[in-house]
Amino acid sequence: VSYMLENRKMTMRLFPELFSAHRVAPVAHYPDLLLETLRASSPVTTAEPTGVVLTPRMHNSAYFEHAFLAQQMGVELVEGQDLFARDKFIYMRTTRGPKRVDVIYRRVDDDFLDPQVFRKDSTLGCAGLLDVYRSGHVTICNAVGTGVADDKSIYPYVPKMIEFYLGEKPILNNVPTFMCRNQDDLQYTLTNLKDLVVKDVHGAGGYGMLVGPAATKAEIAEFAKIIQANPSGYVAQPTLSLSSCPTFVESGIAPRHIDLRPYVLSGKTVQMVPGGLTRVALKEGSLVVNSSQGGGTKDTWVLEDRQLEAHTQSQVPSPSQTQSQSQSQTTPPGEA
């Protein structure tokens, strides 16, 4: 999400005339919406519960975003070693002594959150965290286990989940998905590999996948062996025709494939940021937009109406509020 915020800041600086001529909905209030959502989930009812951003340390590829969001929200950026459990509560170490923590916005995977429950060799989490979490004395956002939604094996069942839990038919249809763990789907996938996109269900960043139409016969044959060795680890989908957008590349302005990543916060209410992150495949003809595979990003505009404008402006802190928040920011424990 920091890419969305930084892209907007950059385009406003470079092309102020475009923003003066159009009613572009702001996105700068996202950190305030995130802070509001975190506070709403707190187990305590004080006006300002103590929240922190838990990072897996500075060597993580998203560390910039962790530090950026903590600074923007005016909360502490902590590592696992900065936290400890005592008497069913979580505390962070500060220069003024222990301070109780009510909400943890964690950017650490489940497996590394608590060495007493998950991986015993983890030094990224806090021993005893899950015990405190179960007692209801700390909120972890996102909750433990929510990462299952990222598992591509879940995707084919989403329409049925919507019907079961909400009693509604999905508004948008799913992309047809073939589960290679099913014999019929496996056979179809192997027969039609040249026309399909095949993905590792646990893969991320554009790794562990085959784009059939762009693959060589040798690559297809090799990937077929990989699928057959572990059918339950793969799903297949038809190749989608992604939208394209004019993009400035070395040769000039040219079309490149894009996708859109929106941002939604679910607290007392569900709020969607009027913008998002448009990811672009910079290589000509490529359908892989992931930044780890050389993809880029674009600022994304939503033109606002008056009702939306009034709402978003009410969410944006005044300069005095921003200055006050900035002045109250302290050095994160362990970072001095």
The answer on pLDDT for 191 being more than 60 is yes
Backbone angles phi, psi at 169, to 5 degrees: -85, 140
- Structural domains of the chain in order of their starting residue, each with its CATH number: 41-144+305-336 (3.40.50.11290), 155-238 (3.30.1490.270)
> Global pTM?
0.79
Measured in whole angstroms, the distance separating CA 295 from the mean position of its chain's CA atoms is 16
Count of CB atoms situated within 10 Å of the CB of 232 = 12
Q: What is the pLDDT of residues 33-42, one digit of tens each?
A: 999 999 999 9
Which band of pLDDT confidence, cut at 50, 70 and 90, is reported for residue 307?
A: low
Q: What is the pLDDT of residues 280-304, one digit of tens each?
A: 998 888 888 887 777 889 999 999 8
Residue 105 is encoded by which pair of tokens? 């916005």
- Count the helix, strand and coil residues of the chain and give each as a percent rounded to the nearest 5: 35, 20, 40
Q: What is the pLDDT of residues 199-235, one digit of tens each?
A: 999 877 667 889 899 899 999 999 999 999 999 999 9
Strands 83-86 and 89-92: antiparallel
